[in-house]
Chain A
């Protein structure tokens, strides 16, 4: 299983339209906070993994630009891409570097500047994220469109309604209102969501995460080093990773994301947990709600509830604080924002804060089990990462 790895530093920028900074300045906001919280400097970092999808932003080699700006020039450096799960792949990449014994201290930085291009160009780039030649070139799918294919199938099979989907948006906007880092710090009601225009039927504007600029960073350390750095490490208990077909036409089922389910089972197995009825293991979850339907499928793919029960969970308020399992207390991708390459790193940073009882007032989960789970999906189930974090040192 390799060496034990702990999160010893975290950083998180304000998410939103960040025309006030360039990509390196944006990344630095998070890197600086991560250095400060870990009480480390650039010279201590032995390995740097930068997640960025790009295309819509000017710098084609963002890792080197960010690294130079942050005084990290000279370190082993990677830019990793797993679409919207790039951030988790950067964390996993850094985790593997420490776990394998290659280095003692590694950093994962996620950054995305989507607002450097006009919205239709961004819609174009994300729409191409699948199999470009066979599913975009002739048929012009959009990212909401891909998830709408799942929403149509899910709603038809289980009887979920557009109102049920909107409940996810309402919850996540509610928690984002307590998160100063969130893109949308305002609550919404059901009519606001229901009256918003269709972008890809049956999904509406308020079913969708926004176009976001933002960054996040985490510093990971080996057990020996972590002990010296902090009294309150957050341990990475396990990471599960999987992938799905590029062409959506090659999938058998459109009511769940198979890759996310495989990644979840892998993460549970590595952490020694059962893979059914799993909500009880965790105090809090961050799941990939790029669209409202995605959060509902996540509940099921993660085994919180059985197939077809996910929409009832949010309808009954079971994913608010005090319910079965609080989900996306950061506001989620939906309202905190979704700077594609930063999202996965943001999830790990957020859950570390939650576990250490350092989340903002109004959105702090009650920590009893000392365990949290992050679910990060790239593309439309093209990539999936499930990361389990905990306050207890992982078992040998």
Chain B
């Protein structure tokens, strides 16, 4: 089986680290010479893991409704504007008078792409399609589309929103399924 992009990335870093360790034991410095450019590079001895704690308190209802199979948006009571992603403040009427509404599930694909070169934190997945679809009430949603063959995808095709469990992480999210 070919290596995943994640395995390749990790392997490349490990190789750099082992060069640095060799140099540390020979000259006492984590200084490595880039084989491509023949210049000296300091292999950073500090490492930082980024994981953010993002507040969803005000939009908690959206996330909690996913387990009931519902996708919610907010609606500004004064203006009638539907907001997705949901937000609880209405800048146009300067208030926080919103009601939660359920979004329709059916829509049409506005545009799409198939991601083959992935970000590091997505590099354990197979290729995936990201699309934007317009739901029957006019609201647009961006999500994965469960089809990665470009021949089977086209703009305007009917899709349906499904609440799914994203694996291997095992959490609820939503995705489009071709009808």
Contacts and interface: CB of A to CB of B under 8 A. Distances in A.
A247 B142 contact: yes
A207 B113 CA distance: 14
B79 interface: no
A130 B141 CA distance: 15
A151 B114 CA distance: 12
A136 B122 CA distance: 10
A254 B132 CA distance: 10
B117 interface: yes
Interface in B48-100: 54, 84-85
B78 to A, nearest CB: 20
Interface residues of B, number: 42
B143 A139 contact: yes
A20 B121 CA distance: 29
Given A133-B54, A138-B166, A139-B142, A199 B116 contact: yes
Most chain B beta carbons < 10 A, residue from A133, A138, A199: A138
B36 to A, nearest CB: 7
Given A118-B13, A140-B128, A254 B111 contact: yes
A161 to B, nearest CB: 14
Contact of A156 (B12, B122, B132, B155): B155
B29 interface: no
B87 to A, nearest CB: 10
Contacts of A19: 34, 37, 39, 41
Given A120-B119, A133-B54, A152-B111, A139 B85 contact: no
B146 to A, nearest CB: 13
Contacts of B128: 139-140
Contacts of B132: 149, 248-249, 254
Interface string B127-158: 01010100000001111100000100011000
A235 to B, nearest CB: 38
A153 B142 contact: no
B22 interface: no
A120 B6 CA distance: 8
Contacts of A141: 115, 130
A100 interface: no
A128 B121 CA distance: 11
Given A124-B119, A249-B140, A149 B13 contact: no
Contact of B120 (A124, A198, A249): A124
Interface string A121-149: 10110011001011110111110110011
Contacts of A17: 36-37
A201 B151 CA distance: 11
A202 interface: yes
Contacts of A120: 5-6, 9, 118-120, 123
A201 B122 contact: no
A218 B112 CA distance: 39
B56 to A, nearest CB: 9
Contact of B37 (A20, A58, A202): A20
A148 B84 CA distance: 22
A148 B44 contact: no
Contacts of B112: 149, 152
A71 to B, nearest CB: 24
Interface string A10-21: 000000010110
B110 interface: yes
Contacts of B5: 120
Most chain A beta carbons < 10 A, residue from B37, B142, B173: B142
11 contacts: A19-B34, A20-B39, A139-B143, A142-B118, A153-B110, A156-B155, A198-B114, A200-B115, A200-B116, A200-B117, A202-B150
Interface of A: 17, 19-20, 58, 118-121, 123-124, 127-128, 131, 133-136, 138-142, 144-145, 148-153, 156, 197-203, 247-251, 254
Nearest 10 pairs between A and B by C-beta? A148-B113, A140-B122, A120-B120, A124-B119, A201-B114, A199-B117, A153-B111, A120-B9, A249-B142, A249-B140
Given A120-B118, A249-B85, 17 more contacts: A17-B37, A120-B5, A120-B123, A121-B120, A139-B130, A140-B122, A142-B115, A144-B113, A144-B117, A145-B113, A149-B111, A149-B132, A156-B111, A197-B116, A200-B116, A200-B117, A202-B150
